[in-house]
């Protein structure tokens, strides 16, 4: 018999050991809620405690909701798992024509289209959801179709948009009507403004420096560039990661999945299609660290699937600026859990979930927290050497080949949009998707992003010149994937200050 008080004591210590603001935990076993509680502060500055009704962003745990909605449409005969999405959305294009004509809903939901993440193309951008899907045609593939698993958010957004095409309802409206309302998830929403208007919401936090593993720094909520709560326009990446929820609400979602789509006496989604989304669809390498207790790593549809100590496990994490989450289903034990943290990139969501499963399996020597702390420490320590491996060491004694003013201007890339380079008080700055970062000279015509808040902190870009010596392009590994060639941004406009000066 699991001692719930001992579990509470464990989680209280976890908040302290991992230096989190708060952690909300829910456990359901054999249809009974074993634990629904929170530990620590939803708002550190104001000493506001978290509880089981505190709202957190769940990030990519949202993907399972999109997969469930697709399963519901398959049940209704409006969608086929293995029919090309192009048949439903004729204007849909990938860079590869073969992928355009053959990529199915199943391919999109299990991340096997051959596309790398290309996440920087949408973060804080100005494209609406349809335009985000249209941008697939500009994304350079990293692998051949169905040969490689790679996480890809925009493909999940495409399935969300497909739901809109097939039903005439926005993804948010459909999830609300078909999932949240029947499950009674009354404190779940899709909009940051709805979350922050609620007095019981968690504030987002991260580390004060990218290379440290402790300490807290308040962060901004990651809002979509076109998100508008009053007009009910959702975040452009919504189907892949915009849901906001609570432990109490998420336990209803966990139970729904453990029941294979049944709510009370009503089979909301067929057992066949719920099992389909929970089943392995594409083999993959371990997402974090290979463990002797886990095996058969694969991805279902909106769920990671593997074994844990010989038991089939379906799980999915969520990481979005200032928040981390993890939902786990150990279906043969009728055991599920949800962990929500208001801290960026929290890895103890996994160690804590493994601890929960061990407790119910009667195993007490997992030492999960210690193992994951050691792994995170090594990962952080290796971050500097990884950057050096990517870009090398700067060559000392070099200078830019042009006056700094020559590098200013607006540079455009079809997939990623515009980079604006300006000169302020003797320093170059790069503005991209409403984010500004100083550019520190690295060597020759290469510059390094020097603002710690930047998603691309410490990445190096290179300015290129045309035959006559004019700076006209930026070469940048903005795809954040070594399998990709660097993207090229072409100068389309000189800095506005020059234009204004010319007009005088």
Rounded average pLDDT over 114-138: 94
pLDDT tens digits for range 442-488 = 999 999 999 988 889 999 999 999 999 999 999 999 988 877 889 99
Q: What percent of the chain has pLDDT above 90?
A: 87
User: Over 80: is that where the pLDDT of 385 sits?
Assistant: no
So what's the pLDDT on residue 501? 46
Q: What is the pLDDT of residue 92?
A: 98
Please compute the mean of the pLDDT values over residues 409-423 and round it to a whole number. Answer: 97
Asked whether residue 102 falls in the same domain as residue 237, the answer is yes
* Residue 482 buriedness (CB in 10 A; 0-12 / 13-18 / 19+): exposed
In a domain, 397, yes or no: no
Cα–chain-centroid distance for residue 313?
Answer: 21
Q: pLDDT for 481-499, tens place per residue?
A: 877 889 999 999 875 444 4
Tell me: do 242 and 288 sit in the same domain: yes
Q: Is residue 390 situated within a structural domain? A: no
CA distance 179 to 62: 12
Q: Say if residue 415 is in the same domain as residue 282.
A: no
Q: What is the mean pLDDT of the chain?
A: 94
- Do 370 and 429 fall within a single domain? no
Task: Give the CA distances from residue 345 to residues 152, 162, 460, 487, 495, in Å, rounded to whole numbers and listed in that order.
Answer: 18, 30, 23, 27, 37
Same domain, 335 and 478: no
Confidence of residue 504 (pLDDT cuts 50, 70, 90): very low
Out of 12-16, 57-61, 390-394, 402-406, which region has the weakest mean confidence (pLDDT)?
Answer: 390-394
Residue 117 has pLDDT above 80, yes or no: yes
CATH number of the domain that 121 lies in? 3.40.710.10
Give the C-alpha distances (Å, rounded to integers) separating 46 from 109, 214, 321, 484.
40, 20, 20, 45
Q: Is the pLDDT of residue 209 over 90?
A: no
Mean pLDDT of 335-345: 97
Q: Which domain holds residue 448?
A: 404-503
* Measured distance CA(181)–CA(332) in Å, rounded: 27
Residue 388 lies in a domain: no
Phi, psi of 307 (to 5 degrees): -110, 150
pLDDT band at 55 (very low <50, low <70, confident <90, very high): very high
Q: What is the pLDDT of residue 210?
A: 80
Residues 39, 69 contacting (CB under 8 angstroms): no
pLDDT tens-digit series, residues 101-114: 999 999 999 999 99
| Percent of the chain clearing pLDDT 70 (strictly above) | 97
In a domain, 427, yes or no: yes
Q: Is residue 431 predicted with pLDDT exceeding 90?
A: yes
With contact defined as beta carbons under 8 Å apart, do 17 and 373 qualify?
yes
CATH code of 496's domain? 2.40.128.50
What pLDDT was estimated at residue 384?
65
Predicted local confidence at residue 499, as pLDDT: 47
Does residue 437 lie within any of the structural domains? yes
Q: Specify whether 225 is located in the same domain as 85.
A: yes
Q: Are residues 420 and 331 in the same domain?
A: no
Pair 269, 351 in one domain: yes
Task: Name the band, by pLDDT with cuts 50, 70 and 90, for residue 502.
Answer: very low
For the chain, how big is the Rg over CA atoms in Å? 23
54 with 148, same domain: the answer is: yes
259 and 342 belong to one structural domain: yes
Instruction: For residue 391, tell me if it sits in a domain.
Output: no
449 domain residue, yes or no? yes
Count up the domains in the chain and report the number: 2
Furthest C-alpha separation in the chain: 82
More confident residue, 129 or 391: 129
Q: CA torsion, points 439, 394, 458, 487, in degrees to nearest 10? A: 80
Q: How confident is the model at residue 500 (pLDDT cuts 50, 70, 90)?
A: very low
Do 471 and 347 share a structural domain?
Answer: no
Contact criterion met (CB below 8 Å) for 486 and 473: no
Sign of CA dihedral 453, 454, 460, 464: negative
Final residue of a structural domain among 382, 414, 446: 382
Instruction: Determine how many CB atoms are found less than 10 A away from the CB of residue 6.
Output: 10
Q: What is the pLDDT of residue 479?
A: 86
Mean pLDDT of 14-37: 97
What Cα–Cα distance (Å) separates residue 289 from each residue in 213, 222, 348, 351? 18, 27, 13, 11
Whether the predicted pLDDT of 249 surpasses 80: yes
Q: Do 429 and 287 fall into the same domain?
A: no
Distance between CA atoms of residues 142 and 119, nearest Å: 14
For residue 138, give the DSSP letter: G
């Amino acid at each position: 018999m699991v001692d719930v008080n001992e579990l509470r004591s464990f989680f209280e210590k976890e908040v302290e050991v991992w230096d989190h603001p708060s952690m909300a935990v829910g456990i359901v076993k054999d249809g009974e809620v074993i634990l629904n509680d929170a530990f620590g502060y939803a708002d550190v500055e104001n000493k506001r405690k978290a509880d089981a009704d505190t709202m957190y962003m769940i990030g990519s745990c949202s993907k399972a909701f999109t997969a469930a909605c697709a399963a519901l449409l398959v049940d209704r005969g409006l969608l086929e798992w293995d029919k090309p999405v192009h048949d439903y959305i004729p204007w849909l294009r990938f860079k590869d024509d073969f992928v355009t004509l053959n990529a199915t809903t199943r391919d999109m939901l299990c991340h096997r289209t051959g596309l790398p993440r290309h996440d920087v193309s949408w973060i804080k951008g100005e494209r609406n959801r349809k335009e985000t899907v249209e941008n697939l045609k500009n994304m350079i593939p990293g692998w051949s179709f169905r040969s490689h698993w790679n996480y890809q958010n925009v493909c999940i957004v495409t399935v969300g948009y497909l739901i809109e095409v097939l039903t005439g309802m926005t993804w948010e409206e459909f999830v609300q009507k078909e999932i949240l309302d029947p499950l009674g998830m009354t404190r779940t929403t899709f909009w940051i403004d709805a979350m922050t208007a609620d007095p019981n919401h968690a504030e987002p936090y991260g580390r004060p420096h990218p290379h440290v593993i402790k300490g807290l720094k308040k962060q901004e909520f990651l809002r979509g560039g076109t998100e508008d709560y009053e007009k009910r326009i959702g975040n452009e990446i919504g189907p892949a990661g915009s849901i906001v929820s609570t432990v109490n609400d998420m336990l209803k979602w966990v139970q729904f999945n453990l029941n294979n789509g049944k709510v009370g006496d009503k089979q909301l989604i067929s057992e066949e299609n719920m099992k389909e989304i929970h089943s392995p669809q594409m083999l993959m390498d371990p997402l974090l660290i290979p463990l002797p207790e886990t095996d058969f790593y694969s991805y279902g549809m909106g769920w990671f699937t593997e074994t844990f100590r010989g038991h089939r496990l379906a799980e999915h994490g969520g990481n979005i600026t200032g928040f981390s989450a993890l939902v786990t289903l150990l279906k043969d034990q009728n055991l599920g859990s949800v962990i929500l943290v208001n801290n960026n990139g929290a890895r103890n969501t996994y160690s804590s979930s493994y601890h929960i499963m061990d407790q119910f399996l009667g195993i007490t020597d997992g030492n999960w927290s210690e193992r994951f702390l050691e792994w995170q420490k090594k990962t952080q320590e290796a971050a500097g050497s990884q950057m050096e491996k990517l870009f090398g060491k700067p060559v000392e004694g070099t200078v830019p080949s042009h006056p700094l003013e020559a590098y200013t201007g607006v540079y455009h890339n079809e997939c990623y949009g515009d980079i604006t380079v300006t000169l302020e008080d003797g320093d170059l700055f790069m503005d991209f998707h409403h984010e500004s970062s100083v550019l520190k000279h690295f060597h020759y015509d290469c510059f390094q992003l020097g603002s710690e808040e930047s998603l691309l902190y410490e990445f190096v870009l290179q300015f290129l010149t045309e035959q006559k010596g004019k700076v006209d392009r930026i070469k940048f590994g903005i795809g954040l994937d070594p399998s990709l060639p660097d993207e090229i941004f072409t100068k389309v406009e000189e800095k506005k200050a020059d234009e204004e000066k010319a007009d005088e």
